[in-house]
């Protein structure tokens, strides 16, 4: 088996499960999640539980329980979140593969900030624990240092589960070899119509598009017709569902919560059923433009994060967040991932696009048609092979090698 880091969010019976919170510092899991059971059954050696922000409710990773999780490429910056412990472990070479979960970008954000591959499968592809298995924003998925390692773990994680009514039949097994992407049509959105994007991120995204061009694909910039309502709807949905799950902790343990978890829970108290319904209406309108584009093009490409990363100790309750001199939402205004939790049936794979001048990696999102998982892996593997891999002896960051073992 392979050594694997398991995110400190899902249970392994008889082992600690803190969720990054002082409230659960002594909690022992009573059950093993379906995904974790599959990892164990496949011979995974769980040598570490990887850190999360409290209750996985942030795009950075620090908590009062575990302190600050830093980016191995530049320790002044975050490793991302909420699967930031997984990304830091992979980027520093202390895990071979890791699990993650993604409700607003929590697999793809840390994959981007740490120069990794991260996969948000379409809703229902991988089993999730109750009650969030019924939340279509919520996905479990793999992080790894190469596309094939990502496939390796995804093939273990996926498939129908008797414990999750939302899981899809039959099990999809991804191949390791694909045909070239010559003559593919690729749609490109520089900002999804609603994000400020740092020039270094844009530059690296354009460089990644040149690689796809070199493989025989054509690139066309598209207008999704999306505006600020996209992020607003995502935040409204997350507040109504995710925030509600934290109300008991706010009422009984406010003094033990982190500043950001307390603020998130408090703000969600103002959410109304109308806000929730409004977010679903926005989701309908988003797909009314995205769907036809994905019918015309094989995939859509856009940046993963609008800046390389925020500071390692970033606190949205007190720190400023500006991009191109403009104030953006402090929780998710720098994360171009949440719209594809709204578009949850689309598979999305993040791959590295380069590094910023501060040494922090940047990432590109590859978005596929609904439930067309193989398309995003076909594109990503062609891209990775064209580059000769991105984490090797010539890397300017940690000298890492990928696994050639099987789980």
* 8-67: pLDDT as tens digits: 999 999 999 999 999 999 999 999 999 999 999 999 999 999 999 999 999 999 999 999
**From residue 163, how far is each of 128, 142, 242 by CA, in Å?**
9, 20, 21
**What confidence score (pLDDT) does residue 401 get?**
35
**What confidence score (pLDDT) does residue 243 get?**
85
pLDDT of 186 > 50? The answer is yes
Q: At 134, is the secondary structure helix, strand, or coil?
A: helix
**What confidence score (pLDDT) does residue 392 get?**
57
Residue 20 phi, psi dihedral angles, 5° rounding: 70, 20
**Residue 389 pLDDT grade (very low, low, confident, very high; cuts 50, 70, 90):** confident
Beta bridge mates, 7: 50
**What confidence score (pLDDT) does residue 176 get?**
98
Please, what is the end-to-end C-alpha distance for the chain in angstroms? 5
pLDDT of 407 > 60? The answer is no
pLDDT of 393 > 50? The answer is no
**Residue 174 pLDDT grade (very low, low, confident, very high; cuts 50, 70, 90):** very high
User: Average pLDDT for residues 305-334, to the nearest whole number?
Assistant: 98
User: Average pLDDT for residues 130-153, to the nearest whole number?
Assistant: 97
Separation CA 51–CA 81 (nearest Å):
9
User: Average pLDDT for residues 152-168, to the nearest whole number?
Assistant: 98
pLDDT of 170 > 50? The answer is yes
pLDDT of 406 > 60? The answer is no
pLDDT of 403 > 60? The answer is no
Instruction: Tell me which residue of 302, 308, 393 sits closest to 359, measured CA to CA.
Output: 308
* 259-274: pLDDT as tens digits: 999 999 999 999 999 9
Q: Indicate the average pLDDT of the chain.
A: 95
On whether the CB atoms of residues 101 and 126 are closer than 8 A, the answer is no
Helix (DSSP H) and strand (DSSP E) numbers for the chain: 11, 16
**What confidence score (pLDDT) does residue 291 get?**
98
């Amino acid at each position: 088996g392979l050594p694997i880091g398991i995110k400190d969010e899902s249970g392994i019976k008889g082992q600690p499960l803190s969720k990054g919170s002082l409230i659960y510092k002594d909690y022992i899991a009573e059950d093993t999640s379906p995904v974790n059971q599959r990892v164990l059954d496949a011979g995974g050696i769980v040598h570490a539980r990887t850190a999360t922000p409290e209750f996985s409710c942030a795009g950075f990773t620090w908590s009062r329980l575990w302190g600050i999780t830093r980016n191995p490429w530049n320790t002044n910056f975050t490793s991302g979140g909420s699967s930031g412990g997984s990304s830091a472990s992979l980027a520093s070479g202390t895990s071979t593969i890791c699990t993650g979960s993604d409700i607003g970008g929590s697999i793809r954000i840390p994959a981007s900030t740490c120069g990794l591959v991260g996969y948000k499968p379409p809703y229902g592809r991988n089993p999730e624990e109750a009650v969030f298995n019924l939340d279509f924003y919520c996905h479990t998925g793999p992080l790894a240092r190469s596309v094939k390692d990502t496939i390796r773990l995804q093939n273990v994680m996926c498939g129908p589960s008797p414990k999750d009514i939302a899981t899809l039949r039959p099990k999809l097994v991804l191949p390791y070899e694909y045909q070239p992407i010559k003559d593919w049509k690729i749609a490109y959105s520089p900002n999804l119509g609603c994000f400020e994007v740092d020039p270094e991120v844009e530059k690296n995204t354009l460089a990644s598009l040149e690689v796809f061009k070199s493989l025989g694909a054509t690139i066309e910039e598209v207008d999704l017709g999306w505006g600020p309502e996209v992020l607003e709807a995502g935040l409204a949905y997350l507040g109504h569902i995710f925030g509600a799950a934290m109300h008991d902790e706010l009422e009984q343990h406010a003094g033990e919560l982190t500043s950001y978890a307390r603020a998130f829970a408090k703000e969600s108290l103002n959410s109304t059923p109308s806000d929730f319904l409004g977010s679903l209406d926005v989701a309908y309108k988003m797909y009314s433009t995205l769907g036809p584009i994905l019918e015309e093009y094989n995939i859509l490409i856009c940046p993963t994060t609008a800046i390389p990363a925020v500071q390692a100790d970033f606190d949205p309750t007190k720190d400023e967040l500006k991009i191109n001199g403009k104030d953006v939402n402090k929780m998710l205004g720098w994360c171009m991932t949440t719209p594809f939790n709204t578009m949850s049936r689309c598979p999305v794979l993040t791959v590295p696009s380069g590094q910023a001048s501060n040494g922090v990696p940047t990432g590109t999102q590859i978005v596929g048609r609904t439930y067309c998982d193989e398309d995003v892996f076909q594109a990503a593997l062609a891209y990775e092979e064209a580059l000769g891999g991105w984490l090797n002896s010539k890397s300017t960051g940690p000298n890492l090698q990928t696994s050639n073992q099987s789980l």
